[in-house]
Structure 1
Amino acid sequence: MGRWEPDARGRLLRAALELFSARGYEATTAAQIAEHAGLTKTTLFRHFADKREILFQGQELLITLATDGVAGVCPDSTPFDLLRAGVLSLCTPHGTEQREIGRQLDALLSSSPELQERALFKRSTITAALREALTTRLDDPRQAGVLADVGIRAYYEGFDSWVRSSDDGPLADVVNRELQAYEASLITLSDAQPAPFA
């Protein structure tokens, strides 16, 4: 395999997953990942600030997909329609390969507090971007905040179910079911009568 072969980012991701799984995250160096991918350490650092970022390289794409999804919905859409468009857009890049990567990441995250912290930062960053996009459309930061929190929760819960499932259906179907369940819960809460004082 040539050292300058295309898809350096994908090769580094596959190499990192293999080495982290075999040796552990802490015991694997950036140089080892680059060598395993057939690349130089300079190439690795041209793409990523450190070895941890190799695993989270899709963050900017997800932010773009979510914000573009919200922005592309017609003006007379309901707030939840806006949310659904943004959240389901997050599912676009996920196919069979991403599902397997998700399974490998699950095991790695459970064994590394550093990776768990980075995963939480990724989630909060995507939530903030979705909240900002919804605020622009709704002109109501509180409503946008509630919707973004619910939507990202539905996305991650759907993703976790999809990764663990043997069902070959697309991620968007699983996430959409989660969104429908949360929408129904919000409607139930809004219709609920306050409990009487004792």
Structure 2
Amino acid sequence: MSRWRPDARERLQAAALDLFAEQGFAATTVPAIAARAGLTTRTFFRHFADKREVLFADDAEVPAMVAKLMAEAPATAEPMQLIVEGLRTVAATRFEGRKAALRHRRDLVRSDEGLRERDLRKRAAMAEAVREGFLARGLDATRAALLAETCVTLVSVSIAEWLDSVDDRRLDEILRDVLEKLRAELA
């Protein structure tokens, strides 16, 4: 009867992450994930397209989150202000409190070429969402593209520094420091 509990997705994710840690991403199969979760392979495919999606499924909501943040921002907000406030929101809601899990995810992504490629596509989708948000706010295409790529780079560099750090600085503090370093370089 446990196979009909409503938490199948979470159980599959937990089982997959455990197996990825135990035997590596490449050696882990979908049937093994389903068996560990006490579910069927068919149930796995109701929730995920493939085993890579276990790591990236939550990223599908990022473009909608970006669009919402951009649309709800005051019309008078400057582009860099939008980026900084948006990144603070994302840091607080999607990253803080998950450092160990995100380190593990990063290590898994680094271990597999297909996962690295998928991660790059995720970054491109985020940049496109930011670019579209700036276009909708009336920025010209070149400025919107530059700001979008800058935003994604700020996030990537800041997250890498945060995950590599051994101190207890919060991600939003690191984002602020990285932005200040960028501003100093451009001055």
Structure 2 unaligned segments of length 5 or more: list them.
Answer: none
Question: Per-residue displacement from partner, 1:23-42 (whole Å, max 9, x unpaired)?
Answer: 12121111111111222222
- State whether structure 2 residue 130 is matched by structure 1 residue 133: no
Tell me which amino acid in the other structure corresponds to 1:65: M
Q: Which residue of 2 aligns with 1:60?
A: 60
Which has the larger displacement, 168-177 or 126-135? 168-177
Structure 1 unaligned segments of length 5 or more: list them.
Answer: 189-198
Q: Which residue of 2 aligns with 1:158?
A: 158
Identity %: 35
Relative to the length of structure 2, the TM-score reads 0.89
Question: Per-residue displacement from partner, 1:173-196 (whole Å, max 9, x unpaired)?
Answer: 22232233324434x1xxxxxxxx
Question: Per-residue displacement from partner, 1:82-141 (whole Å, max 9, x unpaired)?
Answer: 222333332222232x32221112221222111111111111111111111111113311
From the CA coordinates, give the structure whose radius of gyration is larger. 1
SS at match of 1:26: coil
Q: Which residue of 1 aligns with 2:175?
A: 175
Inter-partner Cα distance in structure 1 for 2:58 and 2:125: 12
Going by fraction, where is helix more abundant, 1 or 2?
A: 2
Inter-partner Cα distance in structure 2 for 1:25 and 1:164: 22
Q: CA RMSD in A?
A: 1.9
Q: Which residue of 2 aligns with 1:76?
A: 76
Quickly say closer, same or farther: Cα 1:90–1:63, change in 2 above 3 A: farther
Quickly say closer, same or farther: Cα 1:44–1:31, change in 2 above 3 A: same
Q: Which residue of 2 aligns with 1:26?
A: 26
Q: Which residue of 1 aligns with 2:10?
A: 10
SS at match of 2:3: coil
Inter-partner Cα distance in structure 2 for 1:147 and 1:161: 21
Inter-partner Cα distance in structure 2 for 1:84 and 1:141: 20
Instruction: Say whether the 8 Å CA contact 1:73–1:85 is kept in structure 2.
Output: no
Tell me which amino acid in the other structure corresponds to 1:153: T
Tell me which amino acid in the other structure corresponds to 2:179: L
- State whether structure 2 residue 103 is matched by structure 1 residue 94: no
Instruction: Say whether the 8 Å CA contact 1:12–1:33 is kept in structure 2.
Output: yes
Q: Which residue of 2 aligns with 1:194?
A: none
Q: Which residue of 2 aligns with 1:195?
A: none
Instruction: Say whether the 8 Å CA contact 1:154–1:175 is kept in structure 2.
Output: yes
Question: Per-residue displacement from partner, 1:132-183 (whole Å, max 9, x unpaired)?
Answer: 1111113311111111111111111111122222333432222232233324
- State whether structure 2 residue 185 is matched by structure 1 residue 185: yes
